[in-house]
A and B are shown apart, each in its own frame.
Chain A
Amino acid sequence: MNKSINSIIRNIKAIVLTGIVVTLFMGSTALAQVAPPFSNSIMKDNETYAYLVAERLEYTSITGSDPLAWDVQGYIGKSYDKFWFQSEGSSLTSQKEGDMEFQGLYSRTITPYFDFQTGIRYDLMYSRAENLSRGFAVIGLQGLAPYMFETETDLFISDKGNISARILGTYDLLFTQRLIGQPRFETNIAVQKVEKFGIGSGFNDVQLGFRLRYEIRREFAPYIGISWNRQLGGTADMVRLEGGKVSTFGLLGGVRFWM
């Protein structure tokens, strides 16, 4: 009885070993019977990329204020879905006063050239007198419009329910392959008056700029330029009341870089 069990076990061992050997042998033969299972991830066509661009990082010479300004944005994500972040603001060099805004958006490719974006915005205004802040919900479209205009159109709803919008456009004008002129247009519009933040209803301002950059590398371009800002309507009235100027013209210099 024991003997026969042993022999069976021995036989099983032999069979198993033979099986392993055969498997190894088959596995090592070049002409495997089947292809690897179908996979759509063998190309790197859905990788995550990270992009950061300082569109503007500049110093403007305006009598009395001389602000440092920045507009930095970027993304982390894939072709269709991205987390988009954005920060812009200015800070006076003459005194402790400035404003800044931060946006964190989900960005979805909806057409070949446009992304739909939605998320939050946080604003901070500071001065020696006080610090003010508020939050917004954001819905926007960002992309390349016909005739090669880079555009951003955003609709904001503040935590107090105030509605505002911003339209921004730039265009690249090539003087040479590396010397590039960039006209820039921006306007802000508000539905309600928000006195605390110095915002009237209707068109708040128009900002026009022209920057001339030289791309030492594609990623790194110092620039010089001019900017003209004009406050409008109720916003302008509030500025006048405070004794400020509603129209400012400045010479600027800065650097654009990305990575």
Chain B
Amino acid sequence: MEQETLPKEEEHKISRRKFLRYTAAMGLMAGMSSLLPAYAFSGFKNREVLSPKGNDNVIDLTISNEPVTIDGKKATATAINGTVPGPLVRLKEGEDVLLRVTNKLDESTSIHWHGLILPFQMDGVPGVSYDGIKPDETFEYRFTVQQNGTYWYHSHTGLQEQTGVYGPIIIDPADQDPVEYDREYPVVLSDWTFEDPYKVLAHLKKNGGYYNYQKRTLGEFFKDVSDEGFFSALGDRLSWGRMRMSPVDLADITGATYTYLMNGRAPGSNWHALFKKGEKVRLRFINASSGSFYDVRIPGLKMTVVQADGQNVEPVPVDEFRIAIAETYDVIVEPEDDQAYTIFAESLDRSGYARGTLAPRKDMVAPVPERRPRPKRTMRDMGMKMDGMKMNGDMTKMKQANGQKSMDMKQHDMQMSDMRADPVKHGPDHHGAGAASIAQWEFDRLDEPGVGLNNSDRKVLVYRDLKSLKPNVDTRKPGREIELHLTGNMERYMWSFNGKQFHEVKGPIEFKKGERLKLTLVNDTMMEHPIHLHGMFMEMDNGKGRFRPRKHTLNVQPAQRISAIITADAPGRWAFHCHILYHMEMGMFRVVEVKDQITEA
């Protein structure tokens, strides 16, 4: 299928000398171009990846500080094998691998294999699965590769992810790949700041709006007055002001400090990938950002989403998709014309973009689209029901959310259908000072692509579209429900679950080994939070029954109530957190423990 991959036998026969010559050439190439991985270059061939070598199936990764040049400016990054992003790690389903990670930093580090199913000791979260990797130490990760698809790896120590410790993983299926393609590229989206990430955090702690240079001004007020009338414009200001919220709180960290990268390249440096017309090109998008959501489109090309979070889904043709932090989406594009296309990944708040080019020849580029205007959040994002908003279902059926564990089987069966669930009223607990707001009404929102993308006449991917290609194995109904509210306080820059930062909790969230449970997440904040569970997939309850898509990261929109079914089959301790790096660091983090006996049922 893959034209440019050498046949397997030949690949294995590459002699040591050849290999050395080859890696040296790559090193030289990298040296010239400020330490980018092989896939950042136009001539990228798929054998230029890191695959297990030798009898033990070894891959060596070394983490070190390296000078880099990003957008013409020099900086020091934390690199993996000398590059940012790290090299493409290519594994095969079913093989036993030994991944050796060496720390050449003067502080502790770690590597977490995002989305991989493995023993918890191999998961790479310091303080949860192991103690991390001390300077000059090597940690040996040994596990059997049990899945296939697109994943990624990154540091789980401090804010190292922001300074460059991330890279793509592709796992080839043991059997035939249901996805047909002629050519493929990893597309790693990330963000870079020349500031010390801890300084970024301190700025946010002292001034939540520090990086927002798209606030509403007096000028915008007058524009709104002329567009919609004085009282409407004033009323809108007053209702947001009364809540002490801003509808343009879209991203904590913006293009004011971020340079948005595609495969390590800033927009000006243009990541360039080749195709031959008529080919099926598989683009494996990974959002390895610390603080940026992207809206991805390729003007002139329809994209067919074939995989989400490494799991094959029924193909969905789209014009655009939003990729939350830590999510992956594989799309197929079939360029028919002999022309260049721009891969355009606009940040959610429209303060910047990452960009690359897909072209039949190296010298071809396509125009770069204008950024769209910065969107505004609505009262719906604040958990308010608006008059005239057509709701699915009878208002009298509104249910009071009753605390932590409610399991109404009828309600559950109802959600098995494709029907949008009724809004649920928030319970009496307002989660204390750590929660600046609660969503009075919690909406389904599975049919909404999200702020800035709603009401588009083009097809934008929504969570409702995702349907697993294969039925899920565990057909049991969940025996209980755990409800967690995503909470935060932008003014104080505190982030939490149920109003409690991580340092305020006394122990792990307990799953009973082997149980089937429903995890319900309610977003009480006005920002999106990509929630990641380590060690186990979450079957998103989007009405697809046995074909619920399996996700490692669930993006929860403001005022959204979303559920996932989980089979607690992975004993041990696992991290569970918001994948906005700074939210995790500020307390939106929990430990889940899967054990034989749980203390409270």
Tell me if chain B binds chain A.
yes
* B587, CB-defined interface residue at 8 Å: yes
Which residue in B140, B506, B585 is a CB contact (below 8 Å) of A44?
B585
Question: Would you call A42 and B128 a contact (CB within 8 A)?
Answer: yes
* A80, CB-defined interface residue at 8 Å: yes
- Chain B residues with Cβ below 8 Å from A113 are 244, 436, 491
- Chain A residues with Cβ below 8 Å from B491 are 112-113, 144
Known: A79-B494, A79-B501. A42 touches B121 (CB 8 A): no
Question: Would you call A49 and B121 a contact (CB within 8 A)?
Answer: no
Interface residues of B in 216-266 (CB under 8 A from A): 216-219, 238, 241-244
Question: Would you call B120 and A43 a contact (CB within 8 A)?
Answer: no
Question: Would you call B587 and A36 a contact (CB within 8 A)?
Answer: no
Known: A30-B122, A39-B127, A40-B503. A45 touches B433 (CB 8 A): no
- Chain B residues with Cβ below 8 Å from A51 are 206
Of A40, A49, A113, the most chain B CB neighbours within 10 A belong to: A40
* B174, CB-defined interface residue at 8 Å: no
* A35, CB-defined interface residue at 8 Å: yes
For residue A94, give the distance in angstroms from its CB to the closest CB of chain B: 37
| Residue of B with least CB distance to A146 | B242
* A147, CB-defined interface residue at 8 Å: yes
- Chain B residues with Cβ below 8 Å from A26 are none
Task: Return the CB mask of B427-457 against A: 1 if under 8 Å, else 0.
Answer: 0000001111100000000000000000000
- Chain B residues with Cβ below 8 Å from A174 are 215-218
* A176, CB-defined interface residue at 8 Å: yes
Question: Would you call B219 and A43 a contact (CB within 8 A)?
Answer: no
Interface residues of A in 68-110 (CB under 8 A from B): 79-80, 109-110
Which residue in B202, B203, B217, B492 is a CB contact (below 8 Å) of A109?
B492
* B519, CB-defined interface residue at 8 Å: no
Of A45, A46, A258, the most chain B CB neighbours within 10 A belong to: A45
Q: Considering only CB atoms and an 8 Å cut-off, how many residues of chain B contact the other chain? A: 61
* A6, CB-defined interface residue at 8 Å: no
- Chain A residues with Cβ below 8 Å from B202 are 49
Of B244, B507, B587, the most chain A CB neighbours within 10 A belong to: B244
CA of A112 to CA of B492, assembled, Å: 8
Known: A40-B502, A40-B504, A147-B242. A31 touches B142 (CB 8 A): yes
Question: Would you call B492 and A38 a contact (CB within 8 A)?
Answer: no
Question: Would you call A43 and B241 a contact (CB within 8 A)?
Answer: no
* A132, CB-defined interface residue at 8 Å: no
Of A32, A36, A79, the most chain B CB neighbours within 10 A belong to: A79
Question: Would you call A45 and B573 a contact (CB within 8 A)?
Answer: no
* B22, CB-defined interface residue at 8 Å: no
Question: Would you call B589 and A176 a contact (CB within 8 A)?
Answer: no
CA of A146 to CA of B503, assembled, Å: 29
Which residue in A109, A146, A218 is a CB contact (below 8 Å) of B207?
A218
Task: Return the CB mask of B490-512 against A: 1 if under 8 Å, else 0.
Answer: 01101100000111111110000
For residue B581, give the distance in angstroms from its CB to the closest CB of chain A: 11
Question: Would you call A45 and B502 a contact (CB within 8 A)?
Answer: yes
- Chain A residues with Cβ below 8 Å from B434 are 79, 112
Known: A38-B507, A147-B241. A45 touches B119 (CB 8 A): no
* A2, CB-defined interface residue at 8 Å: no
Question: Would you call A44 and B433 a contact (CB within 8 A)?
Answer: no
Question: Would you call A175 and B210 a contact (CB within 8 A)?
Answer: no
Which residue in B205, B435, B437 is a CB contact (below 8 Å) of A49?
B205
| Residue of A with least CB distance to B123 | A35
Known: A113-B436, A218-B203. A45 touches B218 (CB 8 A): no
CA of A112 to CA of B119, assembled, Å: 40
Which residue in B128, B140, B433, B502 is a CB contact (below 8 Å) of A30?
B140
The contact size tier of chain A is 35 or more
- Chain A residues with Cβ below 8 Å from B494 are 45, 79
Known: A45-B585, A111-B433, A175-B217. A35 touches B206 (CB 8 A): no
For residue B435, give the distance in angstroms from its CB to the closest CB of chain A: 6
* A177, CB-defined interface residue at 8 Å: yes
For residue A162, give the distance in angstroms from its CB to the closest CB of chain B: 33
- Chain A residues with Cβ below 8 Å from B492 are 79, 109, 112
Question: Would you call A49 and B142 a contact (CB within 8 A)?
Answer: no
For residue A175, give the distance in angstroms from its CB to the closest CB of chain B: 5
* A148, CB-defined interface residue at 8 Å: yes
Question: Would you call B216 and A49 a contact (CB within 8 A)?
Answer: no
- Chain B residues with Cβ below 8 Å from A43 are 502-503, 584-587, 589
Known: A36-B131, A39-B127, A109-B433. A49 touches B573 (CB 8 A): no
- Chain A residues with Cβ below 8 Å from B433 are 80, 109-112
Task: Return the CB mask of B349-374 against A: 1 if under 8 Å, else 0.
Answer: 00000000000000000000000000
CA of A46 to CA of B206, assembled, Å: 14
CA of A109 to CA of B432, assembled, Å: 10
| Residue of B with least CB distance to A41 | B503
Question: Would you call A177 and B217 a contact (CB within 8 A)?
Answer: yes
* A22, CB-defined interface residue at 8 Å: no
CA of A146 to CA of B243, assembled, Å: 6
* A173, CB-defined interface residue at 8 Å: yes
Question: Would you call A175 and B218 a contact (CB within 8 A)?
Answer: yes
| Residue of A with least CB distance to B203 | A218
CA of A146 to CA of B121, assembled, Å: 48
For residue B380, give the distance in angstroms from its CB to the closest CB of chain A: 21
For residue B120, give the distance in angstroms from its CB to the closest CB of chain A: 7
A-B contact pairs, 20 of them (CB 8 A): A30-B139, A31-B142, A32-B130, A35-B129, A35-B573, A36-B127, A38-B593, A40-B503, A43-B584, A43-B585, A43-B586, A45-B494, A45-B501, A45-B586, A46-B587, A79-B501, A112-B491, A146-B242, A175-B218, A258-B207
* A-B complex: 8 closest residue pairs judged by Cβ atoms: A42-B127, A45-B587, A46-B503, A147-B241, A35-B573, A112-B436, A174-B217, A177-B213
Please give the residue numbers on chain A whose beta carbons come within 8 Å of chain B beta carbons, in ascending order: 30-32, 35-36, 38-46, 49, 51, 79-80, 109-113, 144-148, 173-178, 218, 258
